[in-house]
Amino acid sequence: MSEGALAALDDEQRVAASLLRGPVCVLAGAGTGKTRVITHRIAHGVDTGAYSPGRVMAVTFTAKAAGEMRGRLRALGVEGVAARTFHATALAQLNFFWPQLANDTAPSIVDKKVRVLGQAADLLRLHLDAATLRDVASRIEWRKVAMRTIDQDAAAHPTGLGSLDAGALADLMRAYEKVKDERRQLDFEDVLLACAGMLESEPRVAAAVHEQYRHLTVDEFQDVSPVQHRLLELWLGDRHDICVVGDPSQTIYSFVGADPRYLLDFADRHEDAQVVRLERNYRSDPGILTVANALMHGRPGALTLSSATAPDATSGGVAPVATAYPDDAAEADGVAGTVAAQIAAGVSPDDIAVLYRANAQSAPLLAALAARGIAASVLGGRRFFDLPEVRQAVMALRGASVAPVETTFLAAVRDVLRSLGLSDDPPPAGGALRDAWEARAAVLRLAEEAPEGTTLRGFTDELMARGRDQHEPALRTVTLATLHAAKGLEWDHVHLVGLSEGLLPISYASTPAEIDEERRLVYVGITRAGRTLSLSWSEQVGSPGHGAPRPRQRSRFVPEIGTGNLRAGGARATRAARPRS
């Protein structure tokens, strides 16, 4: 198992997975196999006897990423590793130790911060609208992840927030904390702060955690906030067995406290740290990597990606297409036309993504795709296994599994799904009926891919396990997603739209640090692409019949990439443009 786990890795990955004692820092560029390295490193440690699975803590930032990590470890024969998010890990420790320390159950978790804030505002006789309450909630979250007191936050923001001066804002924050305390509640950020406080103030708790978890692995380390970093220090104690993995060029959550300096300065903070760089990209064609490298050239910590399929090529390959459209409607229509041509050429819709900066950009794209009969799904909506059609299908299949089966497994699944509305031909794109059809069709594909000998009961058990791990199947639809939502995902064909000043970079990004964050967002979008990449923008705001158009400038990031690295798509833009009135 040990040699098998390492044999599946390239030379650089193998080095990283072989370093079983920390501190270890793996700088892993986009598409270089960081999750593969993490899981194979743990499997190698378990197989050689260096690790006991129950003493390994692997933390990441999303439940989906943690579920994927557990799934990959299971596939490598490793069970029992605590692979969770930061919050899930901290909450588990609070729930375990709180009754021992306080002789009472742990506080409950606030499900809606804005609602509690509204109640606190009422106590102060403040009349605040929902938008202001949301802004205050965001300020509270920022204050806590930055580990600032209310007074420190007031000193840092002397102008207050909106209609609230600094004093009123501080009073509202205190009232919010008082309401929570009276109800014995913690909010999302309190979970991390409370766990850190417990470990700092209770030596026996810290000793128990250190005894339980000897080996610490942290994924997406570039996204660590100050409070998360403090919690990691407390989990680690005076030991050194920590492995962190991340990419400074993919830091896109600074607005919620992420600080890439923890990754960039890891070797300075940890004596004798071993640093491994993964720059061999297994996802993208050389032309796409050329664009990505050009955009990030000279930026702190930027890795230079090379193609694993063409290892000698640091440039060249088919250049991505850049297209200027007359207006937003023409851009949406032109991108939809290109997507339609790709599908007509045999590309599966689920291998195509359209990425953008803001959620509001999705509406015209959805309409343009639907007008061509192309089904699309917006990433970031309800989870697949939470969809009512999927929950209904799982329950119906579960019920069918207890009855005598007079047909094959696959035929039984098909019969159940047909009874729920899965027809042979899909409904028209762009409506709820098509969305439900696509969800049921995805369940059928999972059955078609099930191993020989699978039973209905076994299949429903697998569906429920996938739901717990958020291991969701791909819908056969084109994906629409914001750049933030697309992080960690990949598609063969990516269309990155809205590369205009005011959209990318976003209008409120004004400082050099904020512009750098926008540049990293573009980099994330570019590196989602495997085979083809198109970049586009519109030359004016508005469309014919929708008010007076205003000129719009091409994003500053396009010349940073270099026009020599891009192919012009002007002919397509001309054909896609709609006639002007």
Q: Is the dihedral of CA 412, 413, 415, 419 positive or negative?
A: positive
Binding positions are 28-35
Between CA 388 and CA 29 the distance in angstroms is: 38
Q: Is the dihedral of CA 204, 209, 214, 217 positive or negative?
A: negative
HSE, side-chain direction, 13 A CA sphere, residue 314: 7
Binding positions for ATP are 28-35
Between CA 133 and CA 116 the distance in angstroms is: 10
Q: Which amino acid is at 495?
A: H
Q: Is the dihedral of CA 287, 292, 295, 298 positive or negative?
A: negative
Q: Which amino acid is at 39?
A: T
**pTM of the prediction?**
0.84
pLDDT of residue 576: 35
Between CA 153 and CA 147 the distance in angstroms is: 10
Same topology for domains 2-90+201-278 and 286-381+477-576, yes or no? yes
pLDDT of residue 315: 46
Between CA 544 and CA 143 the distance in angstroms is: 45
* Residue whose tokens read 């909106």: 162
Q: How many CB atoms lie within 10 A of CB 271?
A: 8
Which is nearest to 305 in space by CA: 318, 317, 316, 292? Answer: 292
197 Cβ partners below 8 Å, 6+ apart?
Answer: none
Number of residues assigned to the chain: 581
φ and ψ of 506, to 5 deg? -65, 155
Low-confidence ranges of the chain (pLDDT < 50): 1, 313-315, 571-581
CATH entry, 286-381+477-576, from 3.40.47.10, 3.20.20.70, 1.10.287.610, 3.40.50.300: 3.40.50.300
Question: Residue ranges per domain, the chain?
Answer: 2-90+201-278, 108-183, 286-381+477-576, 384-469
pLDDT of residue 314: 47
Spell out the CATH class of 2-90+201-278.
alpha beta
